[in-house]
Amino acid sequence: MSAFRPGNRITLLENGAQYFPALEQAIAAAQREVHLETYIYADDVTGRRIANALLNAVQRGVQVKVAVDGFGTSDYAGTVLNDLAHGGVHVAVYRPEIGRFNLRRNRLRRLHRKLAIVDGRVAFVGGINVIDDFNTPRQVAPRLDYAVRVEGPLLADIYPVVRRLWLIMLWSRLRYRSREPWLPPSPPTVAGEQLAAFIFRDNLGHRRDIEEAYLEAIGAARDDIIIANAYFFPGLAFRRALMHAAQRGVRVRLLLQGRVEYVLLHFATRALYGALLDAGVEIVEYHKSGGLVQHRPVQPAAGARSERVRARSGFRRGPASASRDRDRRGRAADREAPLGRSPGGVAGCDLDLLRAGALSDGRGRLCPPIVGRERWRSPDRCCN
């Protein structure tokens, strides 16, 4: 895991409405090189909008490199990747899908990172794919997600990771050239006052870096822990860390997806609720009906801390992680990259960003809490 570096400016971007304009602006200002990594690149309004920005950069003489995942992008890409390639963008596909019925385990090693870096001076790290927030087939729009814009000395840690993956992909497709153009990044400069670290995982030397960063932060927590996650199925060590934190008096809150998207994962996640609730962990589910369903622990004895309901951002005191959308152990994710940070706040980050009103566009309803062993009550009945 890379060391914490001072002098950074980290700006929180909420959903594609804030992320894509910021990404476009950075690409429009690019002078030398643009790297973009994404799990999904969709041929929709947003995908075309970013594609136009990339093609315009190529016409200015900027080197543009786009890496996409072969599985995640296969159903969405349409012709946009071909158009990028014909326009001069270097496009590489991470582990292209050969057959849908391939049962080999290495098929699960995917590129889940969503990273962009421009001229080695600004980077974007988070959970937002290149797909429109309202492009949600068979789902209720909009999609909710977050990213951060990073400026400062931390770029010196992000750039080599992005470049290394690009070279690995070229080697794997036998397209590596010894004269592969390389533009050294601009020397990092102080951009703010925030202390931050870049954390990533792969299947070699950094397999558990993200998990270990979470465990360290959870173990050091004194007041509260807030985790917002769409696909929650952590390993035993992670669950025990949350339960131990709750038992020593830390308020632990999980904001999870309540809608059934993947049936097996949904019920596997629900199977974890009992032990977590019994240990004092609070669970809030976000449902497509526009409401929140709260699962609370069994009521504590008189004098214990109160159980107010509030969902807040996952940025807190001590090193934390800005990430989402994957299982915490990363077994199905080959490459992921959250961002660790320390006290000082995130520019533009309201600590109440994830509370009920924000998540439901002001129309959310907080259902009566599901207490203890009543946690399996139907969310639909609760919210009606």
Domain parsing of the chain, residue ranges: 5-195, 209-383
What is the model's pTM?
0.75
Span 22-39, mean pLDDT? 96
**376 backbone dihedrals φ, ψ, rounded to 5°:** -90, 5
Write the Ramachandran bin of 249: left for phi over 0, alpha for psi from -120 to 50, otherwise beta: left
Element (H, E) at 371: strand 370-371
Q: Is the pLDDT of residue 308 over 60?
A: no
CATH among 3.40.50.300, 3.30.1490.20, 3.30.870.10, 3.40.50.720 for 5-195? 3.30.870.10
Q: Determine the residue type at 375.
A: R
Q: How far apart are CA 224 and CA 314, in angstroms?
A: 10
The first and second tokens of residue 253, run together, are 């809150």
Q: What is d(CA 253, CA 194) in angstroms, rounded to the nearest whole number?
A: 25
Tokens matching residue 60: 């200015």
> Which among 29, 34, 41 is positioned nearest to 81, based on CA atoms?
41
pLDDT tens-digit readout, 320-338: 333 333 333 333 334 566 6
Encode pLDDT of 5-19 as tens digits. 999 999 999 999 999
Nearest one of 66, 67, 56 to 28, comparing CA atoms: 56
User: Of the segments 99-108, 131-140, 260-269, 300-309, which one has the largest average pLDDT value?
Assistant: 260-269
98's tokens? 């050969």
At residue 262, does pLDDT exceed 50?
yes
3-state SS class at 172: helix
**For residues 104-116, b (16+ Cβ closer than 10 Å) or e, as one string?**
eeebebbbbbbbb
The pLDDT confidence band at residue 266, using thresholds 50, 70 and 90, is confident
Tokens 């558990």 correspond to 208
Q: What is the signed CA dihedral for 136, 139, 141, 145, rounded to 10 degrees?
A: -70
Report CA Rg, the chain.
21
pLDDT given for residue 237 in this prediction? 95
Instruction: Give residue 339's pLDDT.
Output: 63
pLDDT at residue 203, rounded to an integer: 65
Per-residue pLDDT of 41-82, as tens digits, reads 999 999 999 999 999 999 999 999 999 988 888 778 789 999
Average pLDDT in the chain: 75
Residues 284-305 have pLDDT tens digits of 887 754 455 556 665 444 333 3
Mean per-residue pLDDT, 96-106: 60
DSSP 3-state of 314: coil
Contacts of 149 (CB under 8 A, 6+ apart): 10, 11, 13, 22, 26, 122, 123, 124
Higher per-residue confidence, 364 vs 133: 133
Range 342-366 average pLDDT: 43
DSSP type of residue 105: G
Contact 252, 224 (CB under 8 A): yes
Question: By mean pLDDT, which of 25-39, 171-185, 304-318 is the weakest?
Answer: 304-318
Residue 124 predicted with pLDDT over 60: yes
Helices and strands: H and E segment counts in the chain? 10, 15
